[in-house]
Amino acid sequence: MIRAMRPVVIAANWKMHTTPADAGELAREVARRTRVEGVTRVICPPFVCLAAVRDALVDADPDVGVGAQDVHYELAGAYTGDISAPMLAGLASWVIVGHSERRRDHDESDERIGRKVERAVDGGLRPILCVGERLDDRDAGQATEVVDGQLAGALFNRDGGRLAAAGLVIAYEPVWAIGTGRNASGQDAAAMAEAIRETLARLRWAAPAEIPILYGGSVTAANIGEFLSEPAIDGALVGGASLKPDEMAGIVGRAGVTAAARLAAIA
């Protein structure tokens, strides 16, 4: 069942692209091309571009949220090169946590990712918690077990009500479908979204059906419709395509169709 509390969210993850010199103009163009009713839009640039994107969106479209790509699990300390939640105050209102590239390149554990979610909420940031299985997990028939373990490892014994009230979003990103030539289907994503909500129920979350779940796996304007046609999917975490205004216009435009249909269904 679609609930009014489940927004349609399109989050742009610019990864390690753009500089302060060009990020603002790209943000303005994306904002201008994606003014669609009913869709929550977020742009997550590199840390060094947060201020430029924030300032650009103040004039171009303040309805577009700004997100960071990571946050540290401590509020302060001897952690050279890291960024804490208090440092992001005034720069971002969202943050990506546990992205597959952070897990792969920085050996981030589920427990540490859970601590990051807590620190994000403490700092007034809305977290996008990423989970997803690798190709060998999928081929071994262990996709659901892996994602269940990631969620349980990050969220066990944490206050689900508090995290839900803070606007936690979960992004399912099948690592095997990112840049490998193999594609996930809408049915794959929907099945995992249902499994994620079942895990949240097992963790005794009061209303797992109200947690937005995004799909993130080589999303483009050409394939977004397949995922958003699934009632269990509430948007997308967009990687490479988010750097292309034409692609973002198509993705957000299709998200607007979904948002309008859901609004009509509950009217």
Catalytic center residues: 99, 173
Distance CA 102, CA 109 (A): 10
Q: Is the dihedral of CA 196, 134, 215, 129 positive or negative?
A: positive
132 in the Ramachandran plot: left (φ > 0), alpha (ψ -120 to 50) or beta?
left
Angle at CA 236, nearest 5°, toward 205 and 114? 40
Give SS3 for 71: coil
Q: Is 121 helix (H, G, I), strand (E, B) or coil?
A: helix
CA trace torsion 67, 247, 28, 47 (10° rounding)? 30
For residue 241 the two structure tokens come to 């395509």
CB atoms within 10 A of CB 136: 11
